[in-house]
Amino acid sequence: MAHHDALLAQMLSRRSSRRALLKRAAILGLGAPALAGLGAACRGEEPAAPSPAAPSASPQATSPVAGQTPAAGQPTQAPTSAGEPRRGGRLRVATTGQPAGLDMHIRAQRTITLIGWHMYEALFTFDGNYETVPMLAAGYEVSDDGLTATIPLRRGVRFHNGEEMRAADVVASFERWAEVSSLGIAISEFLREVVEVDDYTVEFRLSSPLVALPSMLARQSGGLSIHPKSVLDQVGTEPLTPDLYIGTGPYQLVDFQPDRFTLLRRFDGYVGLDSPPSGYAGRKAAYLDEIEFVPMPDEAARVAGLQAGDFHYLEEIIPDQVEAIGDDPSLNIQILPPRSYGVLIMNTIAGPMTNVKLRQAVLAAVDVEATGQASHGEGYFEPDPGIMLPQTRWHSTVGQEYYDQGNPERARQLAQEAGYDGTPLRILTTQEDLGDYNAAVVIQQQLQQAGFNVQLEVMDEATLDEMLEDDNRWEMTTNAYVFRPDPVLIAAFASCTADGGWCSDPKVEVARRLQTETDPGARFTAFEELQMLWYTEAPAVKLVNNLGIAPLSAKVKNVLETTHFEIEPEFTNCWLEE
């Protein structure tokens, strides 16, 4: 218990609560079979095939049924029929808003993830089967005791400013990231030091084994992008300015004009991999001359721009607009497997929701199907009790008896047992995300029917982010957790730093087992314990799985065939047929 108390205090003292780390994150994980394959590949061996009992997570051509996991070996990407690649042109992307900046260490919003990984790269990335593979790293070796991880680096990789990437840049990038990123803080709990062994070798010296270290260092929302040490020395932990948005990626920043556009251009000095494209891994051909990201908060304006040919891709589209488009031959709208699920997050740090019985009352009141109808519409969501999406090896229905109760009488009883006295409960939301907003409206009505005094506070997203930083200004908020194949990389599960601050001795103990166990069976057992704690401690209410919608111009070729969509797509291997 003393160890848990110390760890709890340390985690809470380093709390870095940012709504974007939950909602806009696109963090992927590494299962034990993937780790074994990565290690074998780095030793020059053939990777072992995944165990049939724990198949690799794979996206499906059609929406998966809740509770089912894709079979091992199932294809993860449709065969391309895009024709011959064409070089040139400017791809125009309409985003939901203007990012405050493109410093991915500090900000993890979805739009920043979408733009940033065209400019920056990470040590590791994820292939078409969601396996963790090297990107800027040349390999990965871990000692027999699991306490020393050695990462050789690729040679000859150039930053946009012409400098060669070396170990000093990686160490400087990690040390900065570890101070400002929830994921970096999570790694730091296990880290003694990170060392520059020589110009092309970095060593992570750990206090405890960390099975998911390569995936925690990989390409993800708020992940460890690598920057020149010469740049980071200028800013410390302050945000990078546009003139310092320098990475190793296939595109470099040309112009950043807030509320107008962000323009990237092909980096002719890019040194990439020669292996076939797969997910985010392999060759990045950079066929496009330029990629322009235009902030367009109005949903109808984004769709009208796509129909008019002003945009080639929309960052987001709601189902109502999909129905309105109809069968437009100039567009390519595809419905894909779940990319996220909705949540009602409760403030477990301050105020009335620190009472677990009151949180259980809220959980009992919510009818999740009604929230799905409001947020996404019939045919665009799936009820499912699992807190890991069904295309992962982690999906489980443990605790399903607490899911989708929709029982106002039970909620009243629990609220009475909690001593609830009618204190107003504030749900914070924004109309800039209509799915979150519509779900919040329905939940307010359901809670009022169960006898709660609920106030809906609506604001712009920037104000919402600020309000959620102050634990005395809110009780609940609607949000979404984005697809990840490993639970240790979801901040709300693996740490105490996420919005709501879920932190208890049992949760911390189970999270630590998830992070350190190497046996797949033991890790899954720990995860199911975590999922049951999610339902019994009720830090949040899981709503429904949200199906993905890819709104593309028919002129855009080779996107879905060569990238993941559950998180944000890359345009590094697509081209335009104009």
Instruction: Provide DSSP, 463-490.
Output: HHHHHHTSTTS-SEEEEEEEP-S-GGGS
Q: Which two tokens stand for residue 412?
A: 């009243």
Strand partners, 50: none
- 355 closest CA partner among 418, 289, 413, 309: 418
Helices (H) and strands (E) in the chain, counts: 18, 19
- 186 closest CA partner among 488, 442, 434: 488
Which pLDDT score is estimated for 67? 27
Q: Which two tokens stand for residue 393?
A: 């090896």
- Separation of alpha carbons 264 and 1, rounded Å: 52
Distance of CA 187 to the CA centre of its chain: 17
Strand partners, 456: 427
Helix (H, G, I), strand (E, B) or coil at 35: helix
Helix (H, G, I), strand (E, B) or coil at 410: helix
* 450: CB partners within 8 A, 6+ apart: 361, 364, 365, 408, 409, 411, 412, 415
Check if the beta carbon of residue 393 is closer than 8 Å to that of residue 555: no
- Separation of alpha carbons 109 and 158, rounded Å: 27
- Separation of alpha carbons 563 and 442, rounded Å: 35
Residues in the chain with pLDDT values less than 70: 1-82, 567
- DSSP 8-state class, residue 523: H
- DSSP 8-state class, residue 247: -
| CB count in 10 Å sphere of residue 434 | 16
Task: Classify the C-alpha dihedral 221-227-231-235 as positive or negative.
Answer: positive
274 backbone dihedrals φ, ψ, rounded to 5° = -100, -5
Quote the pTM value: 0.78
Check if the beta carbon of residue 231 is closer than 8 Å to that of residue 500: no
- Separation of alpha carbons 77 and 564, rounded Å: 9
- Separation of alpha carbons 215 and 28, rounded Å: 7
Which pLDDT score is estimated for 465? 85
- Separation of alpha carbons 164 and 170, rounded Å: 12
Buried residues in 101-121 as b, exposed as e (16+ CB within 10 A): bbbbbbbbbbbbbbbbbbbbb
Which pLDDT score is estimated for 64? 27
Check if the beta carbon of residue 203 is closer than 8 Å to that of residue 151: yes
Which pLDDT score is estimated for 12? 38
Q: Which two tokens stand for residue 501?
A: 């601050």
State pLDDT tens for residues 78-114.
333 458 999 999 999 999 888 889 999 998 888 899 9
Tokens 């990984």 belong to residue: 117
- Separation of alpha carbons 210 and 507, rounded Å: 18
- Separation of alpha carbons 193 and 187, rounded Å: 11
Distance of CA 319 to the CA centre of its chain: 22
- 344 closest CA partner among 481, 449, 467, 445: 481
Which pLDDT score is estimated for 405? 98
- 511 closest CA partner among 521, 520, 523, 519: 523
Sheet strands (E) in 60-156? 90-95, 124-126, 132-134, 141-142, 148-152
Q: Which two tokens stand for residue 456?
A: 């809906």
- 224 closest CA partner among 169, 161, 284: 169
Q: Return the amino acid letter for 140.
A: Y
Which pLDDT score is estimated for 224? 97
Under CATH, which number does the domain 338-547 receive?
3.10.105.10
* 487: CB partners within 8 A, 6+ apart: 29, 387, 388, 394, 493, 494, 514, 527, 530
Tokens 């997570």 belong to residue: 57
- Separation of alpha carbons 384 and 531, rounded Å: 13
419 backbone dihedrals φ, ψ, rounded to 5° = 80, 25
Instruction: Provide DSSP, 348-399.
Output: -SSSGGG-HHHHHHHHHH--HHHHHHHHT-TTSEEE---SS-TTSTT---TT
Which pLDDT score is estimated for 229? 99
Which pLDDT score is estimated for 13? 39
